[in-house]
Amino acid sequence: MPGYVGPSVEKMGYSVEEGLRLNLRQVVTPDSFKTASELLSSELAIADDTAERAATVFELELRRKDGTTFRAEVSAGFLRDKYNRPCGLLGIAREIQ
């Protein structure tokens, strides 16, 4: 499945093209990576039972290209294939104070 990164990634100092090549470990702090990984694992474990579940909202510490960090509220949910199985993620993040 092709990826998509919105132009708001430029607020983090990356071009859209760079954003498409980034992985989660590159844009979150180590503690937030652990949090996101644990949350993803638990959500995947119950994914088949929660096909109609709304997105999950949580906080992560994100890293800009220049290395500075900021807190973000992330809303994420699964993209599903024609059999309703998780096949990807859709997430939206917004900076919080």
Comparing 12 with 50, the larger pLDDT belongs to 12
Strand 69-80 vs strand 86-95: parallel, antiparallel, or unpaired?
antiparallel
**What pLDDT, in 10s, does the model give residues 16-29?**
999 999 999 999 99
Q: In order of start, what are the domains of the chain with their CATH numbers?
A: 7-95 (3.30.450.20)
Provide the b/e sequence for 20-30 (b: ≥16 CB within 10 Å): eeeeeeebbee
**What pLDDT, in 10s, does the model give residues 53-89?**
678 899 999 999 999 999 999 998 888 888 888 888 8
| pTM of the predicted structure, to 2 decimals | 0.81
∠ CA 37-95-54, rounded to 5°: 55
